[in-house]
Amino acid sequence: MISDYALHRPYNAVADFVDAPVARGLADKIAFTDPARSLSYGALQAATFRLGHGLMRLGLRQETRVVLLMLDTVDYPLAFWGLIRAGIVPIPLNTLLNSEQYAYILEDSRAEAVVISPSLIGSIEPVVDRLTSLRLVIVAGADPRAECRCGKLPTHRFENVLGGGAPEPWTAQTLSDEVAFWLYSSGLTGDPKGVKHVHTSLIATARLYGEGVLGITAEDVVFSAAKLFFAYGLGNSMSFPMAVGASAVLLPDRPTPDAVLDTMRRHRPTIFFGSPALMPDCWRIMTSAAAPVPTDCASAFPPRRRCRPISASAGGRSSASTSSTASARPRCCTSS
């Protein structure tokens, strides 16, 4: 089965994650919800058509690299999948880095554009004018009354790029083993390194881990404390739920205990990806990553739940992979 994902064939990841749910009759189902908005699978598909065309109008071409420096809102999956559809390579970045770290990655990746949340502009503005490849900025979620500017670079509003794109259905001609997106390592052993992922990476981990191990279904509502820029969060909040037509809840704020618990009370997720310290009664499955669950914590779970280890080999996880965990010893806690 794993060998199926290594076949060289025409393929773009939007086929399985954006187009397939619509084809299965899920166009009106909510794919993503943040504190301000919701986005259905049908609206996501239509927006990716327009965004892809809009990006081309700005001069971005297939295989161009574009950094995503965004908070977790419904604009994030829209930008990610719009870029993928156009054959442009998104590079999600940690929103907690400093200006010099961003300068290094932007130069190393030779990204030509960045899609950024307004509150993060100050993190890159001090360095953008000295970058040699970056040539435009797209601001997502800006106040309509506020001026959008980032150094001397041409700056566009995300909604204007989206609105300027043609609505005709289309997908760039890409291959299964062609690079679809990059993720940067944390740099613990030196400078951060860009790790390239091909178009089939996402569906491989979604099928092998999301469905094969977690058993995620279209009826699930998922919530991840880990952000979309993490490998852990990217699988949890995007590829795993989208592969089966489930719904994901996004939290743009930092995942403090209060914020996480408030989100759970509001949306009642059935699958939670995060810390073993957060154990509300509403979830059907909880996963924990980045460290083993302490024995005393595991034993404190209610009797009707059990804690069992899951092999890290499923889906070929690494700290920069598309899988659900960066831990060598993840834990999955499921209802009995």
Residue 329 lies in a domain: no
Question: Could you give the number of structural domains in the chain?
Answer: 1
Residue 95 lies in a domain: yes
What confidence tens digit (pLDDT) does each residue in 298-326 have? 666 655 555 555 544 333 344 433 333 32
Domain span including residue 24:
1-267
Closest listed residue to residue 44, CA positions, set 52, 229, 217? 52
The pair of structure tokens assigned to 201 is 């990476």
Burial 234-255 (b: 16+ CB within 10 A, else e): bbbbbbbbbbbbbbbbbbbeeb
Residue 152 lies in a domain: yes
Which pLDDT belongs to residue 282? 55
Q: For 10, what's the count of Cα atoms within 13 Å in the CB-facing half-sphere?
A: 3
Confidence (pTM): 0.86
What confidence tens digit (pLDDT) does each residue in 135-161 have? 999 999 998 888 889 999 999 999 999
Residue 318 lies in a domain: no
- Read off the CATH number of the domain in which 33 is found: 3.40.50.980
Residue 65 lies in a domain: yes
C-alpha separations of 200 from 72, 125, 239 in Å:
24, 35, 11
Average pLDDT of 230-242?
A: 96
**Where is average pLDDT lowest: 45-49, 93-97, 189-193, 238-242?**
189-193
Residue 307 lies in a domain: no
**175 and 68 in contact (C-beta within 8 Å)?**
no
Distance of CA 258 to the CA centre of its chain: 23
Residue 206 lies in a domain: yes
Residue 299 lies in a domain: no
